[in-house]
Amino acid sequence: MDEQQALEYLDRELDAALGGIAAPPSLAPAVLRRTVARPERLPEILDAVGWLAVVTAALAVWVYFAPPVEPNFTMLAVAVGTVVAAAFGFALRCLRET
């Protein structure tokens, strides 16, 4: 028996065994209410915390392995720019999903 025949056999057997079962009429509206409802903000907050951790780890590795330089505002500007760019990207993603 090849795959196509097996699937056809399975389809016939399932129709014979479960053909009389029907979902209650209240199921469709309940499913639609749950899928249309606005998602929670918790996944977005966890996503922001995760990305902030990734950016922080990348900056820490970069500062650790960067050659020593005189203290100036270049490294601070790069760090702030990176965090601001990441926050801006996250904000755009949140706005796109709402």
**Which tens digits make up the pLDDT trace of 29-58?**
888 887 766 667 777 778 878 888 888 888
What's the N-to-C CA distance of the chain in angstroms?
50
Cα–Cα distance, 44 to 5 (Å, whole number):
46
Q: How many domains does the chain have?
A: 1
4-22: string of b/e by CB count within 10 Å (b at 16+)? eeeeeeeeeeeeeeeeeee
How does residue 85 score in pLDDT terms, banded at 50, 70 and 90?
confident
pLDDT of residue 4: 92
Q: Is the pLDDT of residue 69 over 70?
A: no
Cα–Cα distance, 48 to 42 (Å, whole number):
10
